[in-house]
Homo-oligomer: A and B are copies of this chain.
Amino acid sequence: MIRGLTRAGLGQVGSDEAFIALAARYGFQAVDIDAGKLIAEKGAEGAASLLSANGMRIGSIGLPVQWRTTDDEFRKGLPALLAAAEGARQLGCTACCTYILPSTDEPAAPFMAAAIRRLRLCAQILGAYGIRLGLEFVGPHHLRTRWKHPYIWTMSDTLDLAAAIGEPNVGLLLDSYHWYTTELGVEDLHVLRADQIVHVHLNDAPDVPVSEALDNDRRITGEGVIDLAGFLKALRHIGYTGVVSQEVLTQQPPQEPAEELVQRTAAGYDRLFAEAGIEG
C-alpha cells in the first residue's frame, strides 16, 4: 500500500511544492491535491518532474462538479471536470472522488435518480481519461439527521449506488472513519474485491461512543480508538495495493506546526503498517 496525505488537519503546509517536499521528507508517497492547479502553476512537465523528484504521486483528485443541486449547476461544472481529468491523466493519477452525505433536504427518491444520472456522466467522462470514480459513504450519526430526509450511509448501499450507476470505473472511497462510524468490522472488508476500492482514507476517532463521533472531530492516524491495524490488515488480505491517505477533519485548525503533525502521522503509519504486516 502507498502512504498518502491530504492537507486536512495538517495546518499550514504551504504551497503544493512545499507540501510535496514535506510529505516526501516523512516517507509519504502520495498527496491528494488538485492536479490541474499544479499543472497550471508548473506546466505539465514541471508538475511531473516535481512529483517524480520527490517520489510522489497524486492519490486522488476531487470531483469538481456540483451533482447535488440542479442540472444547470451540474452542466456548469463539466468543463472543470474535463480539465481536472486531463490534468490527472497527465500526472498519472487514476482516482477522482466525491462524498455522499447521509441526509438531504431534497426528496430522497428523485434525488437518487438525479444523482445516478449525473454521476454516471461523470464516470463516463472520467473513463475516457483512464480515471476511476470513488464514492465515499459518510458514517457519523449526527449527519444522518442533519438534513430533512435520510439518504444513504452504508457501504452496502454505496456499492449498490455504484451498481446502479453501472459504469466499469466506479467504486468506493473507503474511509476508516466511516467504516468505524457505520460500525463495520474486518469481516465486512473481507467480502470486498480490491478492485471495488478506488481510494482509501485512513483516519482515527476520539474516545467517545461511536454514535457521538463527529465528522469533523477526527484524530491523527494512530492516535485514536479505531482498529486501524485491523482495517489495514483486511485491505491487505483482499489484495488492495493502492493509496491510503489521511484526511483529518477538525473543528479548529490545528495549532501545532505542520511538520510536527506530519511527523506524528508518519509515526502512526509506521506503527500501523508494521502491525498490519504491510511492506513499504
* Chain A interface residues toward B at CB < 8 A: 71, 74-75, 78-79, 82-83, 86, 107-114, 116-118, 120-121, 124-125, 127-129, 149-152, 157, 160-161, 163-164, 166-168, 170, 193-195, 239, 241
Give 18 A-B contacts (CB < 8 Å), ordered by A residue: A78-B125, A107-B108, A107-B152, A108-B108, A108-B112, A109-B150, A109-B151, A109-B157, A110-B112, A110-B160, A112-B113, A112-B116, A113-B160, A114-B160, A118-B128, A121-B127, A121-B128, A163-B168
B241 touches A150 (CB 8 A): no
For A167, give its contact among B78, B157, B161, B168 (CB under 8 Å): B168
Indicate if the CB atoms of B113 and A161 lie closer than 8 Å: yes
Contact of B114 with A164 in the complex, beta carbons under 8 Å: yes
Find the B residue at minimum CB distance from A167: B168
- Check A78–B74 contact: CB distance below 8 A: no
A125–B77 Cα gap in the complex (Å)?
12
Complex: chain B residue closest to A106, CB-CB = B109
> CB distance B166 to A167 under 8 Å?
yes
B163 near A117: Cβ-Cβ < 8 Å: yes
Cβ–Cβ < 8 Å partners of A110 in chain B: 112, 152, 157, 160
Is the pair A78, B71 in contact by a Cβ cutoff of 8 Å? Answer: no
Instruction: Give Cα A150 to B106, complex, Å.
Output: 12
Q: Are A149 and B195 in contact (CB under 8 A)?
A: no
Bound Cα distance A8, B139 (Å): 48
Smallest CB-CB separation from A154: which chain B residue? Answer: B110
The interface residues of chain B lying within 8 Å CB-to-CB of A127 are: 121, 163
Chain B residues near A241 (CB-CB < 8 A): 239
With A108-B108, A124-B121, A195-B195 as contacts: A164 and B129 at CB distance below 8 Å: no
CA distance A207 to B150 in the complex (A): 38
Partner of A79, one of B82, B163, B195: B82
A119 smallest CB distance to B (angstroms): 10
- Point out the residue from B74, B116, B149 that lies within 8 Å of A113, measured CB to CB: B116
Q: What are the residues of chain B within 8 A of A75 when measuring CB–CB?
A: 86, 128-129
Q: Which B residues are in CB contact (< 8 Å) with A109?
A: 108-109, 111-112, 149-152, 157
